[in-house]
Each structure stands twice: as structure tokens, then as C-alpha cells.
Amino acid sequence: MTRSVSIFTILTLAFFASFGQTKKDSLYVFVGEKIEVSQFHPKVDSDHVLMDRAFKAKYKVIQNIYGNYKSDTIQFDAYDHYGEPAFSKYKYVLLFVSAYSGKLYHEKYQFFDVYKTKNGRWASSYKVGDYEHSYNKNTPVKPELIGFENEVSYNIKGRSKEDIEYLFPSPYFKIAGNKAIVVFGNYAEQLFELKKTGILKARGIFD
């Protein structure tokens, strides 16, 4: 029983972002440029079980989308059950970070890889997971034809036909060889709206 309570306690404190314990006034959403992401080992009691790996991240704030974060750089902790956070694989990302007890934490698994557009904005590809979230059935946000400065594509080598059709559907993507080229997507502000009315609402951050 003690061990179970300890596991619950550490999960609640360290991974609160997964359980909707933050509110909209403590959320920061921004386009960031990666400076550093490195693993660390948080101090926990011997009877605690840490289910996720912990990382410290430092990013340059390129554009604020939501929240009143004033510095040009931001440092926060991220916890990931699967290893290195997926957002760390990209140079530029739209990130969701919440303040809790004087520290900043990444909203678990929430990010978009973003790319500069010809009109000087930031955008990403069509994201089926966000559009198909149960809370977004009636979203007014729609995919748009995006002109990126450079081609944006994803490697699909080794993926099944079913995966490709689901994750990279036409007309939002053009399949060429082993890559899915982005045709339609959304700008950063629209991407935030999809999260706001979808997963962030489900977590209790927004009503």
C-alpha cells in the first residue's frame, strides 16, 4: 500500500501535466528554437518508482503565442515515458509549458514541429491526431494550403500502407517515393487553437 501511494505521489508531483492540474493562466505557448535538451536524474525517495525519464530543456523564444512569458530564453523540465522527448528531434517547435510551484514543466507529449513560411509565419503540417480528437469534432479550424520557405516532408520508409494513408492523407500530403511532402497545414495560432479545444481542454486547462 505504501509503495502504491508513493508511486501515485511522485507521478502526481512530477508529471502533473498529464492530469490537468495546471490552468490557463500558468500556461505558456511559444515557438522555440532548440538550444539544449539533456537527461537528468531527479532525486526521489528509495520507495518511489519513477516511471518516466527526465530531461532539462533550454529553448530560445522566437514567438510568443499564449501567456505572458517575458524572457527571450526558457528552461523547463520534461518527462517522457518513451525516452528522449519527440520535440527534441526538431530545430523549431511550438511548445506548451506550464508553471507549477515555481518551476516550468512541459505539457507532456504536446508540441508541433514548425517551419518558416514564405509569408514570414510559422506553420506545421496537417495533424490527424488533433483534428480527430473527440473534443475537436466541430472545430472551426480548417487545414490551409501553406507555402513553406523550403520543402517540408516526412520520411515514410518502412511504414505500412495503412499508416501512410492515415497519417499522411491526400490532399494534405503528396507522396513521392519514401517521403510525404506537406501541402496543407496550419499556422501556429491555429495549431494552438486545436490543442486548446482538444487535449488541453481534456486536461482541464481550458473550459
Domain boundaries, the chain: 2-113, 122-187
Fold entry, domain 2-113: OB fold (Dihydrolipoamide Acetyltransferase, E2P) (2.40.50)
Mean pLDDT computed over 96-107 = 96
Question: What does the pLDDT look like over 49-59, one tens digit per residue?
Answer: 778 899 999 99
How do residues 10-46 score in pLDDT, each as one tens digit?
Answer: 443 444 444 444 488 899 999 999 999 999 988 877 6
Q: Can you tell me the distance from the alpha carbon of 196 to that of 48, in angstroms, rounded to the nearest whole number?
A: 33
Strand partners, 125: 185
What pLDDT is recorded for position 161? Answer: 97
**Do residues 119 and 28 lie in contact, with contact meaning Cβ atoms separated by under 8 Å?**
no
195 and 109 Cβ atoms separated by less than 8 Å = no
Q: Read off the pLDDT of each residue in 192-205 and give the average, rounded to a whole number.
A: 98
Share of the chain above pLDDT 90, in %: 80
pLDDT reported for residue 47: 67
- Residue ranges of alpha helices (H) inside 34-160 are 128-131
Contact 6, 45 (CB under 8 A): yes
Mean pLDDT of 83-96: 98
Tell me the three cell numbers of residue 68: 505572458
Can you tell me which residue has the cell 530560445? 60
Find the largest Cα–Cα distance for the chain.
58
What is the C-alpha to C-alpha distance for residues 23 and 66, in angstroms, rounded to an integer? 13
Asked if residue 205 has pLDDT above 80, the reply is: yes
- Whether 189 shows a pLDDT value over 70: the answer reads yes
Lowest mean pLDDT among 41-50, 58-67, 189-198: 41-50
pTM: 0.87
